[in-house]
């Protein structure tokens, strides 16, 4: 089993995630410090999994971990080792913020860069997630990855996952409401092709 403070196995890695050295960001049962080293303060914008954005003040010399800890405190995230901050570099590629290196040495244009707080590792066994908030954030990540086409799966699995998302949003199945909800909300790039499968799965949930 993978403990939160250890590097997850390959089976537990997020799809398409670059290799990580498994830097421990939190000790079990402890909250991260919300302090930056002294020095001139710089504003950094971070987008959360619910698409809201927050601005954090960090020192010019502070490492990536200082910013990451501020985000975790803001969100009240305890199981921080499952998450990370990513941003688009000068090659237009998404890369992870290195927690040991100074943040401003990694961001070419910090005022114009939006970092994203995202799930970095998926554990092989979901029961390892101890906090309800962690499970909620994982659900938001899966919802986003499905909508963007980053989470590749067969139609049956996709329909089942979307049906659970709809169940959490509108409750038990109602044919008219379910169809209207699917018409006005996009969960999959090819959603229309498996709409019947989604509603069939939703019908079985209580």
* 104-152 tens-digit pLDDT: 999 988 989 999 999 999 998 888 999 999 999 999 999 999 999 898 8
From CA 145, how far away is CA 42, in angstroms rounded?
31
pLDDT at site 94: 94
108: closest CA among 132, 125, 91, 123?
91
From CA 121, how far away is CA 117, in angstroms rounded?
12
Residue 100 tokens read as: 């040991």
Specify whether the CB–CB gap between 151 and 181 falls below 8 A. Answer: no
Give Cβ neighbours of residue 186 (< 8 Å, ≥ 6 apart): 147
Give Cβ neighbours of residue 34 (< 8 Å, ≥ 6 apart): 69, 70, 73
Residue 191 tokens read as: 């959603």
pLDDT at site 206: 85
Determine the average pLDDT of the residues in 34-53: 83
From CA 167, how far away is CA 202, in angstroms rounded?
7
Kindly list the distances between the CA atom of residue 39 and the CA atoms of 34, 35, 44, 60, in Å, as whole numbers in the listed order. Answer: 15, 12, 15, 7
Is pLDDT of 188 > 60? yes
Tell me the three state secondary structure of residue 81. Answer: helix
Tell me the three state secondary structure of residue 73. Answer: helix
Lowest mean pLDDT among 32-36, 117-121, 151-155, 196-200: 32-36
Number of H helices, E strands in the chain: 6, 5
Is pLDDT of 15 > 50? no
Residue 82 tokens read as: 């499952």
pLDDT at site 68: 98
Give Cβ neighbours of residue 179 (< 8 Å, ≥ 6 apart): 195, 199
Q: Which residues are 83's β-sheet partners? A: 119
33: closest CA among 71, 3, 4?
71
Give Cβ neighbours of residue 100 (< 8 Å, ≥ 6 apart): 23, 63, 64, 65
Q: Which residues are 55's β-sheet partners? A: 45
């Amino acid at each position: 089993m993978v403990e939160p403070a250890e590097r997850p196995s390959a089976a537990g890695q997020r799809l398409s995630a670059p290799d990580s050295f498994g830097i421990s960001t939190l000790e079990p049962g402890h909250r991260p410090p919300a302090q930056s080293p002294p020095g001139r303060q710089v504003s950094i914008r971070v987008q959360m999994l619910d698409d809201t954005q927050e601005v954090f003040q960090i020192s010019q010399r502070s490492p990536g971990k200082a910013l990451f800890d501020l985000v975790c405190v803001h969100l009240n995230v305890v199981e921080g080792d499952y998450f990370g901050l990513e941003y688009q570099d000068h090659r237009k590629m998404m890369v992870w913020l290195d927690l040991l290196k100074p943040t401003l040495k990694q961001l070419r244009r910090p005022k114009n860069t939006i970092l994203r707080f995202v799930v970095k590792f998926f554990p092989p066994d979901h029961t390892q997630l101890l906090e309800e908030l962690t499970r909620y954030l994982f659900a938001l990540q899966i919802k986003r990855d499905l909508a963007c086409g980053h989470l590749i799966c067969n139609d049956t699995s996709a329909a089942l996952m979307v049906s659970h998302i709809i169940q959490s949003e509108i409750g038990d199945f109602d044919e008219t409401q379910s169809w209207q909800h699917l018409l006005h909300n996009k969960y999959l790039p090819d959603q229309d092709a498996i709409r019947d499968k989604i509603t069939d799965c939703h019908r079985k949930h209580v």
